[in-house]
């Protein structure tokens, strides 16, 4: 559980944390639907965010970054985001436009961009600086990750009246991702 893992390993403590956060968040997202309580939806989002930090921290500290773990993490992020926002719309139907555009960005465009790490034969998105420093800074650095997966949801949750700003930020994120995808299409593969 605490031992370093080979990048090709199928099990790691970090992957276990990812799976536990997926199950825990989905449990609370389901409770939000069953009981029509938005608090459960926010608890599910909290589990998602804390679990995402925890699995990444675990992978770095215990040297357990694995390709399978990176794949599971990317998929779990999208599943949890989709469940959160589908529930969120049931409580805030007036925010359908910015939410749908954000879902298109995060669940499809960003998913495609994130999964490109496999094409370049690196362990995870954390190593994208080996492929392209600009793509890494814009999308996978700490600032890039925050802008991509946290800023828009926080704006929509805490300041729903400012949804046009959240929508504008999402359009900027989409533009950055499309630009990043075009940069990566010009690169050779295999960096590991």
Count other Cβ atoms within 10 Å, centred on residue 146.
11
- Judge if 192 and 98 occupy the same domain: yes
CB-based burial of residue 176 (10 Å sphere; 0-12 exposed, 13-18 middle, 19+ buried)?
buried
pLDDT averaged over every residue in the chain: 94
pLDDT value at residue 55: 96
Domains: count for the chain: 2
**Residue of 8 and 114 predicted with greater confidence:** 114
Residues 141-182 pLDDT 10s: 999 999 999 999 999 999 999 999 999 999 999 999 999 999
**Domain span at residue 4?**
1-91
User: Quick one: average pLDDT of 103-115?
Assistant: 97
One domain for residues 173 and 184:
yes
CB-CB contact of 106 with 149 (8 Å): yes
Q: Does residue 3 sit in the same domain as residue 78? A: yes
156 in the same domain as 182: yes
151 and 120 in one domain? yes
- Rounded mean pLDDT, 34-60: 97
Q: Do residues 105 and 190 share a domain?
A: yes
Q: How confident is the model at residue 189 (pLDDT cuts 50, 70, 90)?
A: low
pLDDT of residue 7: 77
Structure tokens at 149: 């997966």
User: Does the predicted model carry a pTM greater than 0.95?
Assistant: no
pLDDT of residue 39: 98
Position 30 pLDDT exceeds 60? yes
Q: How many residues does the chain have?
A: 192
pLDDT band at 192 (very low <50, low <70, confident <90, very high): very low
Q: Say how far residue 115 (Cα) sits from the centre of its chain.
A: 11
Pairwise CA distance, residues 83 & 124, whole Å: 24
Do 19 and 80 share a domain, yes or no?
yes
Based on the domain organization, do 144 and 191 belong to the same domain?
A: yes
Residue with tokens 């989709």: 82
User: Tokens 């399978």 label which residue?
Assistant: 68
Residues 189 and 100 in one domain: yes
- Give 152-156's long-range contacts (Cβ < 8 A, gap of 24+): 152/98, 152/102, 153/45, 153/81, 153/84, 153/85, 153/102, 156/88, 156/92, 156/95, 156/98, 156/99, 156/102
């Amino acid at each position: 559980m605490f031992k370093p893992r080979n990048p090709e390993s199928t099990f790691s403590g970090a992957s276990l944390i990812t799976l536990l956060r997926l199950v825990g968040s989905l449990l609370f997202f389901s409770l939000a639907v069953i009981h029509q309580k938005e608090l459960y939806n926010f608890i599910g989002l909290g589990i998602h965010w804390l679990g995402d930090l925890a699995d990444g921290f675990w992978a770095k500290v215990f040297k357990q970054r694995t390709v399978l773990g990176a794949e599971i993490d990317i998929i779990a992020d999208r599943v949890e985001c989709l469940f959160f926002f589908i529930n969120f719309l049931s409580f805030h139907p007036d925010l359908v436009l910015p939410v749908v555009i954000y879902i298109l960005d995060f669940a499809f465009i960003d998913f495609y961009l994130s999964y490109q790490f496999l094409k370049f034969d690196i362990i995870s998105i954390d190593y994208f600086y080996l492929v392209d420093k600009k793509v890494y800074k814009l999308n996978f650095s700490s600032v890039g990750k925050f802008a991509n997966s946290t800023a828009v949801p926080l704006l929509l949750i805490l300041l729903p009246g400012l949804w046009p700003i959240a929508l504008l930020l999402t359009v900027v994120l989409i533009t950055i991702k499309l630009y990043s995808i075009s940069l990566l299409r010009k690169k050779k593969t295999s960096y590991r």
